[in-house]
Structure 1
Amino acid sequence: MKRNIAMNKILSTLIVALLFSCNHTAQTINPKQQAVIDADPVEVPLENGLARAYFASGCFWCVEAVYESVKGVKESISGYSGGYTDNPTYEASNTGRTGHAEAVEIIYDPKVVSFATLVDVYYASQNPTQINGQGPDKGSQYRPIIFYQNDEQKQIIEEKKDALAKKLDAKIASEIYPFQKFWVAEAYHQDYEKRNPNNGYIRNVSIPRLKRFQAKMPEVLKEEAKH
């Protein structure tokens, strides 16, 4: 009997500790970040027939190069999105305390490439199960996020994420955020892979990632990217 009483006390203590841990975790969620997640999406209007889409998938040097190889993409711009601070810098973002992730703004012709295809490109160009990073780049500033601007885009993202989870029988790491604002990164980050082909990171991480994507989806590539 004493043994049973002792065991019950131990179990009660463990349950209380677990509940405290869960409550403590819930209480430490940054309310500023939660406000970003809960906000209504901002829809960016077409400009000269071109649309914009926003993705975070690890280092923006890699992601920028991936999307610029896709037909219908006019430009890919590196920057920061998903956070709660104004005018984020590379140094501030790398602390993980701005809420932002390295992201890209994709300027594209919706008559040539659809938003749905851009989401396919997103998943084909990454390890979709890696949390808070891609490859050697780890931290909340490298977390994967797909940004939606309206309910239609949100549905496309959710359906593709669910389908991929079933296909891989695994949890997909990408978060789904309402788009709020994109902050353009410092000038030296733009077209970084093109301008720094001999950089060690570019040679060993970025270019191999680009090549893996191109092998998966050759049908979406621009002619110059096929060679």
Structure 2
Amino acid sequence: MKIVRTPFLILLLMASISCQPKNKSDKQEVAQTEESDTQMAGKMSEEQLQKYETAYFASGCFWCVEAIFESVKGVKEVYSGYSGGAEKNPTYEEVSYGRTNHAEAVEVFYDPDVISFTQLVQVFFGSHDPTTLNRQGPDRGAQYRSIAFYKNDKEKKIILDYMDKLRSENVYGDRAIVTEVTPFEKFYKAEAYHQDYEKRNPNNSYIRNVSIPRLNRFKENFKSYLKEDAH
């Protein structure tokens, strides 16, 4: 199993740069710039995706996490969304302001003949810091917590075994892994303008200063896992 031994996510910026809108006007500004995106532009159809397996993870801002998993070979599609809470049909404003128990999460469609669930778990742990409680980089709050979701006992065992391996090899020193290992219940797709956000908004300050550097660090550590066009 592939293990990254150094803490992956380093604070690069002042806390003023984050995935979370600082006030309602900021949220409205983002929505207005993307209001024409009424469809999931460039996404595969549900019919096309039916033949693939799914996996669900939360590890900070979904703009970052979506881009990371989309760079992995065998991954056919990734959606940004919300999971881990009980509230139905949550919105970005509700989740990002901590008004629900949901976390920003991703839905990963993958070909198990190319990439295994075990390898996706390795990608998950290798692309964020699982020792920071309710926080990733400049993003703070339970909506940015680390969660590995499982759909059956086999997936649960894979996650727990890999966490034990990380601990036994002292990857994080005396820092405890705080990742939640949670049975998957429901995933709600985020609003259309969040899908492929990093790809479509390369000049956004958060994307330039947090998301792209995080993606590049992942690529440096997982070169053998990348799609040909992601190198």
TM superposition score category, shorter chain reference: 0.7 to 0.9
The residue identity in structure 2 corresponding to 1:60 is: F
Shift of 1:127: 1.4
**Higher helix fraction: Structure 1 or Structure 2?**
1
Match of 2:214 in 1: 209
Indicate the SS of the match to 2:182: strand
- Residues of 2 paired with 1:123 and 1:97: CA distance? 27
Q: Percent identity?
A: 61
Q: Residue 221 in 1 paired to residue 223 in 2?
A: no
Stretches of structure 2 lacking an aligned partner (at least 5 in a row): 1-48
Shift of 1:161: 1.1
Indicate the SS of the match to 1:64: helix
- Residues of 1 paired with 2:67 and 2:96: CA distance? 21
- Residues of 2 paired with 1:85 and 1:165: CA distance? 33
- Residues of 1 paired with 2:117 and 2:228: CA distance? 20
The residue identity in structure 2 corresponding to 1:119 is: V
The residue identity in structure 2 corresponding to 1:61 is: W
Q: Residue 50 in 1 paired to residue 52 in 2?
A: yes
Stretches of structure 1 lacking an aligned partner (at least 5 in a row): 1-46
TM-score, normalising length: structure 1: 0.78
Shift of 1:133: 1.6
- Residues of 1 paired with 2:190 and 2:155: CA distance? 25
Shift of 1:165: 2.3
Q: Residue 82 in 1 paired to residue 84 in 2?
A: yes
Aligned length: 181
- Residues of 1 paired with 2:203 and 2:96: CA distance? 23
Indicate the SS of the match to 1:98: coil
Deviates more, 1:124-133 or 1:55-64: 124-133
The residue identity in structure 2 corresponding to 1:50 is: Y
Structure number with larger C-alpha Rg:
1
The residue identity in structure 1 corresponding to 2:122 is: D
The residue identity in structure 2 corresponding to 1:173 is: V
- Residues of 1 paired with 2:215 and 2:108: CA distance? 16
Match of 2:204 in 1: 199
The residue identity in structure 2 corresponding to 1:156 is: I
Match of 1:102 in 2: 104
Moved >2 Å (runs of 4+) = 165-170
Indicate the SS of the match to 1:211: helix
Match of 1:136 in 2: 138
TM-score, normalising length: structure 2: 0.76
Indicate the SS of the match to 1:215: helix
Superposed counterparts of 1:51-66, under 5 Å: 51-66=53-68
Shift of 1:128: 2.0
The residue identity in structure 2 corresponding to 1:129 is: T
Q: Residue 178 in 1 paired to residue 183 in 2?
A: yes
